[in-house]
Amino acid sequence: AVIAANIIRPLVHLLQTAEFDIKKEAAWAISNATSGGDNEQTKYLVSQGCIRPLCDLLVYPDPTIVTICLEGIENILNVGEAEKNAGHTEGMNIFAQLIDSSRTSVSRVFNSEVLL
């Protein structure tokens, strides 16, 4: 229903730009979509750019938002692993690679905040 209503892109935008409380609700929606959908729906979520904003929220000092984001990321990784095991991605979990590149940018932000 969420995908058919074309609200994924606006949700991803909210994850990136909104106030914290709105980001939290958008993260809930994205994470729920990764857990309740099939692999094709999760791949669509990834194609709309949900990985980076979920990873970006991991630096917030709020255990609830971190848990929500980690659950969504775990669901995405599981789909990536299924795609790899099905032979669709040349033996790689392409979502793990996307998360790794996002994690690198999060690490840089975290390290620069620690240095301040």
What separation in angstroms does the CA of 47 have from each of 41, 108, 110, 111, 113? 10, 24, 26, 28, 30
Is residue 102 within 8 Å of residue 56, measured between CB atoms?
yes
Residue 103: which pLDDT band, with cuts at 50, 70 and 90?
low
Output the pLDDT for position 109. Answer: 46
In terms of pTM, does the model score above 0.85?
no
8-115: CATH topology is Leucine-rich Repeat Variant (1.25.10)
Residue 114: which pLDDT band, with cuts at 50, 70 and 90?
very low
Output the pLDDT for position 106. Answer: 53
Per-residue pLDDT tens over the stretch 42-85: 999 999 999 999 999 999 999 999 999 999 999 999 999 999 99
Within 13 Å, how many C-alpha atoms sit on residue 102's CB side? Answer: 19
d(CA 77, CA 97): 10
